Structure 1
Amino acid sequence: MKAIASVVAVAALAFAGQALAGDVTVTLTGVQAKGGQVLVSLQKRDQFMQPTAAYGTKAPATAGDMTVTIKDVAAGDYAVVVMHDEDSNFQMAMADNGMPKEGWSMSGSPSMTSKPTFDEVKVAVPAEGASVTEAMVYPN
């Protein structure tokens, strides 16, 4: 009987965890045919603009519009940060002036006249998940 109660308790926790996590679907528009892969990350406030993320995925870059899904994301506020990693080295190539040399995108489509803040770009993800559409930005 104790074993059955334990199984029921574990199953209840598993289903409760699933109810609190949804999928986040990110649609990127204007992806250029430059090869490589697209890296999509969801960053919490303390991770923002750092080389870490709460969730992430990668997919081969597909010219035009492409959609990726990050599964089982806990409810909360996240910044969606995207990099078109043309050379697949998991690093943003930077120009001498400090500007990105590879394509990128961020939730809220911030201008690059100044460094964005987390509050400017955060997306509230409810327990049932969310969908976000953002345009890719490429250097001239």
Structure 2
Amino acid sequence: MLKSLSLAVLATACLAGPALAGDVTVTLTGVQARGGNLLAALQTQDQFLQPAGAYGDRVRDPRAGTVRVTFRNVTPGDYSFSALHDADGDGQMKMEGAMPAEGWGMVNGDTLRAAPTWDQVKFTVPASGDVALTVPMSYGR
């Protein structure tokens, strides 16, 4: 599902935004202590499931439990959120057949039964105000 989420997403992180931009804070629940990096990204519809992103962050060696990631000055509009627990540090989602072998999370990810569509996982950043999301992590094994 998240095979295309990669370290390239982090390289495209935007640091500046317009005066009306808000912050997006994502609380990731169920994070497991597996080493590596937790990669998090916001993507526009054009970037969705591609190795690109509008905003990105990395948490090194995340601890088990809850992890918060905040994207500052996010331009108003529709975005998807994706997280990858890149335990082996290769910047890509490891797969076992058609299923993710590393931890992952998306908005509404716990309801997905197949590859996500944009409409299933998008959320809106309004012209004024901040957004707070809670996203559970999923681990295949």
Range class of TM-score, shorter chain: 0.7 to 0.9
Q: Which residue is 2:84 aligned to?
A: 83
Is the helix fraction higher in 1 or 2?
Answer: 1
Q: Which residue is 1:138 aligned to?
A: 139
Q: Is the 8 A contact 1:23 1:129 kept in 2?
A: yes
Q: Give the number of aligned pairs.
A: 123
Cα distance, 1:46 vs. partner? 1.1
Cα distance, 1:112 vs. partner? 4.2
What value does the CA root-mean-square deviation take over the aligned residues?
1.5
| Structure 1: 4+ residue segments shifted above 4 A | none
Q: Distance in 1 between matches of 2:105 and 2:91?
A: 15
Q: Which residue is 1:129 aligned to?
A: 130
Name the % identity. Answer: 47
Distance verdict in 2 for CA 1:31–1:110, change over 3 Å: closer
The answer to which of 104-113 and 86-95 deviates more is 104-113
Secondary structure at 1:33 match in 2 = coil
The answer to which of 36-45 and 112-121 deviates more is 112-121
**TM-score w.r.t. length of structure 2:** 0.81
Q: Distance in 1 between matches of 2:114 and 2:133?
A: 23
The answer as to 2:30 corresponding to 1:30 is yes
Higher gyration radius (CA): 1
Cα distance, 1:113 vs. partner? 2.3
Q: Which residue is 2:50 aligned to?
A: 50
Q: Distance in 1 between matches of 2:132 and 2:70?
A: 9
Q: Is the 8 A contact 1:110 1:116 kept in 2?
A: no
**Matched AA of 1:53:** G
Secondary structure at 1:29 match in 2 = strand
Task: Kindly report which structure 2 residues correspond to 1:45-124, keeping only aligned pairs within 5 A, or say none.
Answer: 45-60=45-60, 61-95=62-96, 97-124=97-124
**TM-score w.r.t. length of structure 1:** 0.82
Cα distance, 1:116 vs. partner? 1.3
Secondary structure at 2:46 match in 1 = helix
Q: Distance in 2 between matches of 1:93 and 1:131?
A: 28
